[in-house]
């Protein structure tokens, strides 16, 4: 395959040369730039630039010389931190300078957190004692085992012009085509993220979806990546190389995925990393083996705080097709291994970590139903639309990426229209400790009730589909807010903006739990009134299987009537008696003008504004009457003058 091109966006490579005094740093730099050995070398060279056509990648190189004097340590550290790559030098005729690499220089780079490729260079090769001939591999193998950041090692002679251009070629190559993200030197295998990216590229190039690249598909791939077709004899040669080493790498239809991956491992082993990097970059990957930011339309996510992001019907239909494809036995149960397979062309499974892990209902067999699968996607789109869109692209979404998502209408406009058009609602679940919040969350996901109490330390999410009358389906996201996290949440002005509805859970057998729940309700309602992000609220009386505390009905009736919201809804997670709570939550969220609590302060504020508005109206009416009266007087005066 052909040579690589300049990686997009890389306008230059900065290489810092460091090492003990007298190891040949300055001579190395001058000889590389001037192609002649200098007779008089200054102690410290100014920055030296190699032109862009010096190496095939056509990226200019700036080489920085450094001083190893103790008084210049600060400047040295500053330059090392700005480096794209570091060349560490030792003198072949001074073994102690080689030892200093592992006792000082490499640990120093780690201490400074310089995480760039390192090229170790043995200078003054012409001065080595012929009696002490040891192979470079024998010398460097123990050091490279200890310091994995070393990309390569090379010995050179500026005086005799031995391997001088190669030093900076390898340094540039380590920056533009790094080994680390692609290949595990210890196991001599492609790294998982590299395998996933190449698998996605293979699938995109396998247009007839038969699991192999035909000669025509292989040629199209070559033209796309390297702007040059393969001759028929070259295609035969490529397949023969693979088949000789790996029988399953080629079948009657063409090059298999196994063979495609083997080819890239072969390129890397032979030092041709630029070939694999060119392929990855042609398909939009950056140095982290993730899609470049410019492929994700971030401008599509601009929205007001009280707007949310949802998947479009087009994206949902695509995901249904993906589910059917990977649910091979069609049992509406996508097993964990099948979920992993769905994301096998993404850098990793995004649902392996919080908040997505365990956020959806599992089947009896531990998998995901179609509703649960779509719920996970809805949650990811709500919380992190960029990541959701990115993963849609990774798993093969065929349409324009902006057609996969939509921005919902502002909630304040929903309130005016007295109806929400959203398909995904986010409900904040508040309540004191041991009130039954987690039990409510677990029951929403079909999990069994647990008698033992385990406090929730961090926010938790639960997402599921709620079926409404008429077969309409909405997705509900429950976000549990621990009691000690409420004040932090409400410290932000826009904290309630993403909330479609708030639920306040209390233990119906515990009066102190009720009092704390009403305090939280007042805090949230007050915050909503102060910021303009009022939210509908429901109160949930949990543990209805226990006896209520005295005066429970009177207290709850008084509070709900005073604040203008529905009376507490009794539920028992233990008895699985939920009183249609999830439908009622969705129904309240669908009608955002209802169930909004009103505090005494909020009521007084409203009355004050009504009074001001009424006063202004009276003033304006009075002014209008005065103007009309004045106009009438002028007409009367004009007529009187005319008659005179």
Burial 319-339 (b: 16+ CB within 10 A, else e): beebbeebbeeeebbbbeebb
User: Domain ranges in the chain?
Assistant: 13-176, 189-290, 304-407, 411-598, 610-643
| pLDDT per position as a tens digit, 272-290 | 899 999 999 999 999 899 9
What token pair was written down for 196?
């996933």
- Among 37-46, 83-92, 611-620, the range with the most confident prediction by mean pLDDT is 83-92
Lowest mean pLDDT among 61-65, 316-320, 630-634: 630-634
CA distance 538 to 544: 16
pLDDT at 628: 52
Strand order across the beta sheet in which 501-507 lies: 460-467, 473-480, 424-430, 501-507, 537-542, 569-570
> Residue 581: is its pLDDT beyond 90?
yes
Mean pLDDT of 545-568: 90
Looking at residues 118-138, what average pLDDT do you find? Answer: 84
Q: What is the per-residue DSSP string for 256-278?
A: EHHHHHHHHHHHHHTT-HHHHHH
Looking at CATH, the fold of the domain delimited by 411-598 is given as Rossmann fold (3.40.50)
Provide the pLDDT for residue 529: 93
Q: Which residues contact 420 (CB under 8 A, 6 or more apart)?
A: 409, 411, 414, 500, 589, 590, 591, 592
Lowest-confidence pick of 439-453, 564-578, 594-608: 594-608
- Superfamily of 13-176 according to CATH: P-loop containing nucleotide triphosphate hydrolases (3.40.50.300)
Mean pLDDT computed over every residue of the chain: 90
Name residues whose C-beta falls within 8 Å of residue 492's C-beta, 6 or more positions apart in sequence. Answer: none
At residue 631, the pLDDT reads 55
Alpha helices (H) along 92-135: 95-100, 106-111
| Beta carbons within 8 Å of 52's beta carbon, 6+ residues apart | 58, 59, 60
Domains 13-176 and 411-598 share a fold: yes
What pairing do the DSSP bridges indicate for beta strands 85-91 and 118-123? parallel
Residue showing tokens 């000082």: 104
Token pair listed for 81: 């931190």
Task: State the average pLDDT over residues 174-183.
Answer: 91
The upper half-sphere exposure of residue 174, i.e. CA atoms within 13 Å in the direction of its Cβ, equals: 24
What pLDDT digit, counting tens, does each position of 215-271 carry? 999 999 999 999 999 999 999 999 999 999 999 999 999 999 999 999 999 999 888
Q: pTM for the full model?
A: 0.83
CB 6 within 8 A of CB 59: yes
Q: 189-290: which CATH topology?
A: Recoverin; domain 1 (1.10.238)
Over residues 612-625, the pLDDT tens digits come to 665 555 555 555 55
Which CATH code is given to the segment(s) 304-407? Answer: 1.10.238.10
pLDDT attached to residue 632: 54
Task: Say how far apart CA 347 and CA 350 lie, in whole Å.
Answer: 9
pLDDT of residue 280: 96
- State both tokens at 517: 């729940």
CA distances from 485 to 430, 457, 458, 495, 584 (A): 10, 9, 8, 12, 26
Q: What is the pLDDT of residue 2?
A: 41
CA distance 369 to 295: 31
């Amino acid at each position: 395959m052909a040579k690589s091109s300049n990686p997009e966006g890389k306008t230059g490579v900065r290489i810092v040369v460091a090492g003990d005094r007298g190891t040949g740093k300055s001579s190395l730099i001058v000889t590389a730039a001037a192609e002649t050995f200098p007779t008089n070398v200054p102690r410290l060279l100014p920055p030296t630039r190699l032109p862009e056509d010096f190496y095939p990648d056509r990226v200019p190189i700036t080489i920085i010389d450094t001083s190893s004097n103790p008084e210049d340590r600060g400047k040295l550290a500053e330059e090392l931190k700005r480096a794209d790559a570091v060349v560490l030098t030792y003198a072949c005729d001074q073994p102690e300078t080689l030892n200093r690499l592992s006792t000082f220089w490499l640990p120093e780079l780690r201490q400074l957190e310089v995480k760039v490729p390192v090229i170790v260079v043995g200078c003054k090769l012409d001065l080595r004692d012929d009696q002490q001939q040891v192979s470079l591999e024998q010398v460097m193998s123990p050091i490279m085992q200890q310091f994995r950041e070393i990309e390569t090692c090379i010995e050179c002679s500026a005086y005799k012009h031995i391997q001088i251009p190669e030093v900076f070629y390898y340094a540039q190559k380590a920056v533009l085509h790094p080994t680390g993200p692609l290949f595990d030197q210890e196991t001599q295998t492609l790294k998982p993220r590299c395998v996933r990216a190449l698998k996605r590229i293979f699938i995109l190039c396998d247009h007839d979806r038969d699991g192999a690249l035909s000669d025509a598909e292989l040629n199209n791939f070559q033209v796309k990546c390297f702007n040059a077709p393969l001759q028929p004899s070259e295609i035969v040669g490529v397949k023969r190389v693979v088949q000789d080493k790996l029988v399953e790498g080629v079948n009657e239809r063409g090059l298999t995925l196994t063979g495609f991956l083997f080819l890239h491992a072969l390129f890397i082993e032979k030092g041709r990393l630029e070939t694999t990097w060119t392929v990855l970059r042609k398909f939009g990957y950056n140095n982290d083996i993730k899609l470049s930011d410019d492929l994700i339309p971030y401008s599509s996510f601009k929205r007001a705080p009280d707007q949310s992001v949802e998947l479009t019907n087009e994206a949902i239909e695509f995901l249904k097709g993906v589910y059917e494809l990977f649910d091979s036995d069609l049992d509406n149960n996508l097993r964990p291994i099948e979920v992993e397979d769905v994301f096998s062309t993404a850098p990793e499974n995004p649902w392996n970590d919080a908040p997505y892990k365990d956020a959806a209902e599992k089947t009896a067999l531990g998998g995901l139903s179609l509703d649960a699968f779509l719920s996970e996607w809805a949650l990811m789109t709500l919380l992190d639309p960029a990541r959701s869109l990115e993963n849609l692209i990774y798993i093969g979404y065929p349409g324009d990426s902006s057609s996969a998502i939509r921005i919902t209408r502002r909630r304040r406009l929903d309130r005016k229209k007295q109806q929400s058009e959203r398909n995904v609602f986010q409900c904040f679940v508040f309540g004191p400790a041991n009130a039954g919040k987690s039990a409510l969350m677990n029951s929403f996901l079909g999990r069994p009730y647990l008698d033992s109490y385990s406090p929730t330390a961090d926010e938790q999410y639960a997402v599921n589909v709620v079926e409404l009358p008429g077969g309409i389906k909405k997705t509900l996201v429950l976000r549990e807010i621990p009691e000690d996290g409420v004040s932090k949440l409400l410290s932000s002005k826009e904290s309630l903006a993403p909330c479609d509805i708030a639920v306040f859970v209390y233990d119906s057998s515990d009066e102190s739990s009720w009092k704390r729940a009403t305090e939280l309700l007042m805090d949230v309602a007050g915050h909503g009134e102060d910021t303009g992000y009022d939210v509908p609220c429901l109160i949930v009386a949990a543990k209805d299987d226990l006896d209520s505390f005295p005066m429970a009905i009177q207290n709850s009736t008084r509070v709900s009537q005073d604040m203008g919201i529905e009376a507490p809804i009794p539920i028992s997670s233990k008895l699985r008696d939920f009183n249609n709570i999830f439908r009622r939550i969705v129904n309240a969220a669908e009608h955002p003008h209802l169930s909004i609590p009103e505090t005494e302060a909020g009521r007084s504020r409203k009355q004050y504004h009504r009074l001001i508005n009424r006063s202004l109206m009276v003033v304006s009416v009075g002014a209008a009457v005065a103007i009309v009266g004045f106009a009438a007087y002028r007409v009367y005066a004009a007529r009187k003058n005319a008659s005179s």
